[in-house]
A and B are shown apart, each in its own frame.
Chain A
Amino acid sequence: MGMSLIAVGSYLPKPLHSWAVVGTAGIVMCCLLISFSFTGNQIIISPEWWPNSGVLYLKFDFWGMAPAFWTTASGLIFYLLNLKERPSRTYVHDGLFLFVLTSANLAFLAGNFLLRYAALEFAALGIAVIQLLEMGKQNSKRLYLGLRLGDAGLLVAIILLNTTGAPLEISKALSLAMSLPEVTLTWIAAGFLLAVWVKMGIWPLVFWQNAAADNPSLMNKAWFLATVMPNLGIYLLYRTAPLIAQFETVQRLVSLTSAASAVIALLFAWGTKNLKDSVWWLFAYQGSITVFAAVHRLDALVWGSILVACLLRFIFFGNWTPRFRLANTERLASIAGGVILGGYSLITIWAIQQQGERKLDFWVAEASLALLVLWLVNQWEKAPKQEKQGLMESPIHRHKWQRWGIPVVALLLFAIMPLLFTPLHANELIAGSSSFTKLSLISFPIISPAFWGLLLSVWVIKKLRWLEKIAIFSLTNRYAWRAGAQLSPKKIYNATEIFLFKEGVDQAAQTVSKISRQLYEILERTTFETGSQYLVKGALSFSTLLYRILERTTFEAGLQYLVKGALSFSTLLRRMHTGRLRVNLLWVAVTMVAVLVMMLARTGG
């Protein structure tokens, strides 16, 4: 349908495009829902693409179909939200939407690595073409090259796995891979991790998404960039997590790296002035925490991260559309999304804490959670009073059903519908979630040392200024202050509410904000962006210089000198041997004598 729309869409009336897309996406969703009943079956696409490539088939697996369903549902919702803001060449965009949707669902359901790789490549290609249409050449090139970097890692992992004797069938390959030697498995895991890191847009491989921040199209930002590739990355991570966590060295390294990137992503979220840019860093943070969960074998949380991702995208981007805002401002919606993200991170870090002793990576992850809390507080402080009071009032909505319709539908699609089909997997989910009801989950943030350590350390930094203020009090004021500081409920309330929570946390938040803004300016803008620009310019200049030196100056000029030298030599010889018979005869005689002498010397010797 997608290719047909692109091919003949210009001849069809515009409303028909939308109906075609909505209808097709709706049918896909229905088929996926029905397919939940056929879990375990397969559809063979091709017996063998080339020799030893294995059977290309789709596997009806709940853990793959649910993400496909959520991704399709997200696409449909954002498509509907974006209906009034669509660009002029709608049929091409619509066709590409269906093309990317097909590729993504193929990737979710593929049972063969070759088919999955091909589907991921097509999805990347479709997204790159969308960027080309909406944002121009540079952004499209940057995006496609970025995604191809991830796919290069995936290709290395797949081929290396295949080289060890594992088939290209995903389940068998991954189970056979567990018995591989450490060195080989490390290469394979590194390849998969590179793919995951890029697709999920985790720092520092988030550059391919950065260009999208300027894109005005909701559909492009919300679904093509923020939903499809990250969901595919999360699902890839879910399937390959056992390989990454197989050996302790790799596990520790990946755990620490993901925790550190979570901290850095949040610092950049603080540092960006525009809220719409900072949400991308929140997505990067979510990706880091998901990898953190994967490396500690919290498979249920990794898989559930896809649902969290879809909900977050809906909350963040859905609220940017004027017609269907949940809240008056993007900021409050971002806070709501941040709370969900914080809850997910809390559960993840708590669950890891249950596994065993805390190490450095764990402290870093806790610190990232503290930073998220501070960010949320900062956003709340920045929101004007009127917005907080009129939280759920929106003058734009004419009818209440317009305000509540989309969230209800989203809730149905994301949560309830798949849950209807989980009786088969209820035991797994219940077993995975039973420990969440324990009281220790609630008490975890209260007793978490790193969490409070970060909050208090920032507060203490600000407190030093208050000590200065206290120092300038006169002795009289000090006596008066001490006399007034009687321990009473009102005074304690004032001290904690105003001094600690209000002013203290606010000052702490502003301090962190300043630090992270500067860090963002230094690292991202100055170092990475400028660095990558210099790298690209340097590579171009190096290529041009190498071209001039080697091709033009060395090779061409060298060859020219060689040819000139040969011609000059032959001219010289011609002059020496020209015209006069006696001179030529003399040369012949000398040459013959020389040859005779050499022959005699050889035979006589």
Chain B
Amino acid sequence: MNYETGLILSIILLPSVIALLLVMIRRIIGPYAGWIAGITAGLNLLATLALLPLLRQGIEPHIALNWLPQAGIQFILHLDWLTFPFLFTEALVTVFALIYALGYHHPDERTPFFYALLLIFGVGMAGTTLAGSVFLFYVFWELMLVASCVLILAWGEGPNNGSVALQYFLFTHLGSLLVLVALINLYDAAGSDSFVALRSGISLAPAAVTTITALFLIGFGVKMAVFPLHIWLPDAHSVAPMPVTIMLAAAMLSMGVYGILRFPMSIFSPSQIAMFALPMMVAGLVSQVYGALMAIAEQDIKRIIAYSSVSQMGYILFGLGTLTYEGIAGATLHVIYHGVVKALLFMCMGLVIRATNKRQISELGGLMNKIPLTAACCAVGVLAIAGVPMLAIFNSEWMIYSGGFHTTYPGLAVAMVLGSLLTVAYALRLFMEIFWGDYTSDGNLIPVSAAMRLPTVVLAGLTLLAGLFPSPVFAWIDQELTLILGGLW
């Protein structure tokens, strides 16, 4: 055990231990559960950032233990440049979600369980990205699902949280089963479940490659919530408590992207998966347009942002489908930027809902002068998602479109650019209907906790920073793509 392996182990173990302690000695530390969870997540983020200099030096922390040696199954944790952007996004979003939860969640006797499950949810996502073996990947993949499902079931808002949690579990588990079948086939072909063995080249018939890739794309597509595999998302996002929604939308959806990059795109060569390029691009375009149309039609402000996630995942899928450097770089960048902006938007909606006790957009209006700080932060988020330059998402969209124009289907890229006008339409609608016009509600607004406002403001600032100074993040992505594209590509 050395410094770097200690860091990656701490990212998994520390939140797990703290979660266990929160449950076991909740009577003692229960009142401070939120603070403890927040500090733990903060330490996790620091540990993640501490790994960056090591990666820059060319050190890739690695832990490998024999788990079931008879079956060739190992316990491997590994950090590389493909892992880092997703790990960082997850750690960042978890910290802000937990700080937000301090103001959002009303303390009761179940509070320690709430924060423990949030930490476990974070462990699931971190473990998914750090896992270096197929078996361990799937364990953490399911851990994400179980933790988030329990959170929706126990703390979901509204009368239908039970059925929504069941629907969420069934649908995403179905996707997970497809992924499992594909993983088992890979394991069977490689004779080992380590990613290194898989990347070193496995021999599979073309039909098997096609089947496995299709299984991965559909399975991970469920997690990404692209059309038509998105049906679990609107209800889950709208019923879940806001901190869970933030983690679902901003971090968990990106796990699907990670899966596509880690498995079919890292293991197979471009020629092997070239037949999926056009379907992925078309699916991305359809998802972009469909999600935006639904966001325009929707009345619940949480569901509007939820459908926005479907649309934004369409951009990412399109970028991945181009199978070009620019497209994949743009897709990965979009994961990070989308995580930040989506968390910001959900936080703003949470502030609006908490202040007004309303969720229907038709009942809102004229809040600009009442909650100016929220309005300003929401304006930043809305403009970012509309693709205004100097605000994060513009950079990744540029790269995605550029990737599209590098393919033999430039018309699809043109359609994506024109489809982005629908994004502008629902973004404008969201902001103007909530914050503009006359304030017609009766009574005063409910004061909102500083713990909810602080992460919102910080995320708005991060959005601006990420847009103005994108070079550091670009450098990460460049390293990641060298990992993917420098091998078989």
A51 CB contacts on chain B under 8 angstroms: 471, 474, 478
A148, B294: Cβ atoms closer than 8 Å:
no
B167, A163: Cβ atoms closer than 8 Å:
no
A132 CB contacts on chain B under 8 angstroms: 432, 436
> How far in angstroms is the closest Cβ of chain B from A290?
25
Instruction: Identify the stretch in B64-72, B185-193, B258-266, B394-402 within 8 Å (CB) of chain A at 4 or more residues.
Output: B394-402
B406 interface residue per 8 A CB criterion: yes
A121, B388: Cβ atoms closer than 8 Å:
yes
Instruction: Identify the stretch in A152-160, A230-238, A336-344 within 8 Å (CB) of chain B at 4 or more residues.
Output: A152-160
A556 CB contacts on chain B under 8 angstroms: 231, 235
B170 CB contacts on chain A under 8 angstroms: 559, 563
A122, B389: Cβ atoms closer than 8 Å:
yes
A555, B388: Cβ atoms closer than 8 Å:
no
Partner of B402, one of A125, A144, A163, A543: A163
A145 interface residue per 8 A CB criterion: yes
With A141-B432, A563-B170 as known contacts, state yes or no: A156 contacts B471, CB within 8 Å: no
What residue of chain A has the Cβ atom nearest to residue B418's Cβ?
A: A152
B297, A543: Cβ atoms closer than 8 Å:
yes
A559, B171: Cβ atoms closer than 8 Å:
yes
Partner of B432, one of A49, A140, A550: A140
A137 interface residue per 8 A CB criterion: yes
> How far in angstroms is the closest Cβ of chain B from A200?
19
How far is it, in angstroms, between the C-alpha of A87 and the C-alpha of B420 when the chains are bound?
34
Partner of A152, one of B388, B395, B420, B429: B420
Which B residues, 398 to 432, have Cβ-Cβ distances below 8 Å to chain A? 398, 401-402, 405-406, 410, 413-414, 417-418, 420-421, 424-425, 428-429, 432
B390 interface residue per 8 A CB criterion: yes
> How far in angstroms is the closest Cβ of chain B from A386?
46
**Interface 1/0s, chain A 420-448, versus B by CB < 8 A?**
00000000000000000000000000000
How far is it, in angstroms, between the C-alpha of A196 and the C-alpha of B370 when the chains are bound?
40
How far is it, in angstroms, between the C-alpha of A50 and the C-alpha of B436 when the chains are bound?
35
A543 CB contacts on chain B under 8 angstroms: 293-294, 296-297
A540 interface residue per 8 A CB criterion: yes
> How far in angstroms is the closest Cβ of chain B from A566?
9
A551, B390: Cβ atoms closer than 8 Å:
no
Interface size class of A (residues with CB under 8 A): 35 or more
B171, A160: Cβ atoms closer than 8 Å:
no
B471, A50: Cβ atoms closer than 8 Å:
yes
With A551-B234, A563-B166 as known contacts, state yes or no: A141 contacts B428, CB within 8 Å: yes
A137, B389: Cβ atoms closer than 8 Å:
no
What residue of chain B has the Cβ atom nearest to residue A566's Cβ?
A: B170
A551 CB contacts on chain B under 8 angstroms: 231, 234, 294
A117 interface residue per 8 A CB criterion: yes
What residue of chain B has the Cβ atom nearest to residue A48's Cβ?
A: B471
A141 CB contacts on chain B under 8 angstroms: 425, 428-429, 432
B293, A546: Cβ atoms closer than 8 Å:
yes
B487 interface residue per 8 A CB criterion: no
A160 CB contacts on chain B under 8 angstroms: 405, 410
B298 interface residue per 8 A CB criterion: yes
> How far in angstroms is the closest Cβ of chain B from A146?
10
**Interface 1/0s, chain A 108-121, versus B by CB < 8 A?**
00000010011001
Partner of B383, one of A49, A118, A125: A125
A528 interface residue per 8 A CB criterion: no
A547, B401: Cβ atoms closer than 8 Å:
no
A162 interface residue per 8 A CB criterion: yes
B436, A118: Cβ atoms closer than 8 Å:
no
A163, B428: Cβ atoms closer than 8 Å:
no
B424, A163: Cβ atoms closer than 8 Å:
no
A249 interface residue per 8 A CB criterion: no
B474, A50: Cβ atoms closer than 8 Å:
yes
B297, A540: Cβ atoms closer than 8 Å:
yes
> How far in angstroms is the closest Cβ of chain B from A541?
9
B461 interface residue per 8 A CB criterion: no
**Interface 1/0s, chain B 465-478, versus A by CB < 8 A?**
00000110010001
A215 interface residue per 8 A CB criterion: no
Q: Which of A140, A144, A159 has the most CB of B within 10 A?
A: A159
A149 interface residue per 8 A CB criterion: yes
A547, B294: Cβ atoms closer than 8 Å:
yes
With A546-B293, A547-B297, A559-B167 as known contacts, state yes or no: A159 contacts B402, CB within 8 Å: yes
A324 interface residue per 8 A CB criterion: no
How far is it, in angstroms, between the C-alpha of A183 and the C-alpha of B462 when the chains are bound?
41
B421, A145: Cβ atoms closer than 8 Å:
yes
A148, B166: Cβ atoms closer than 8 Å:
no
A544 interface residue per 8 A CB criterion: yes
A187 interface residue per 8 A CB criterion: yes
A159, B425: Cβ atoms closer than 8 Å:
no
B437 interface residue per 8 A CB criterion: yes
A550 CB contacts on chain B under 8 angstroms: 228
How far is it, in angstroms, between the C-alpha of A407 and the C-alpha of B293 when the chains are bound?
51
B231, A49: Cβ atoms closer than 8 Å:
no
What residue of chain A has the Cβ atom nearest to residue B294's Cβ?
A: A547
B401 CB contacts on chain A under 8 angstroms: 155-156, 159
> How far in angstroms is the closest Cβ of chain A from B184?
21
A563, B167: Cβ atoms closer than 8 Å:
yes
A155 CB contacts on chain B under 8 angstroms: 398, 401, 417
A118 CB contacts on chain B under 8 angstroms: 389-390
A156, B414: Cβ atoms closer than 8 Å:
yes
A163 CB contacts on chain B under 8 angstroms: 402, 405-406
What residue of chain B has the Cβ atom nearest to residue A555's Cβ?
A: B231
A156 CB contacts on chain B under 8 angstroms: 401, 413-414, 417
**Interface 1/0s, chain A 542-578, versus B by CB < 8 A?**
1110110011000110010001000000000000000
A542 CB contacts on chain B under 8 angstroms: 293
A187, B417: Cβ atoms closer than 8 Å:
no
4 further A-B pairs in the complex, CB-CB below 8 A; given A540-B297, A546-B290, A551-B234: A117-B389, A121-B388, A137-B436, A563-B166
Could you list some 10 contacts between A and B, CB below 8 A?
Answer: A49-B471, A118-B389, A118-B390, A121-B389, A144-B428, A155-B417, A159-B413, A547-B293, A555-B228, A563-B166
4 nearest interchain CB pairs? A543-B297, A118-B389, A555-B231, A543-B293
Q: Taking beta carbons and an 8 Å cutoff, which residues of A are in contact with B?
A: 48-51, 114, 117-118, 121-122, 125, 132, 136-137, 140-141, 144-145, 148-149, 152, 155-156, 159-160, 162-163, 187, 539-540, 542-544, 546-547, 550-551, 555-556, 559, 563
Q: Taking beta carbons and an 8 Å cutoff, which residues of B are in contact with A?
A: 166-167, 170-171, 228, 231, 234-235, 290, 293-294, 296-298, 383, 388-390, 395, 398, 401-402, 405-406, 410, 413-414, 417-418, 420-421, 424-425, 428-429, 432-433, 436-437, 470-471, 474, 478
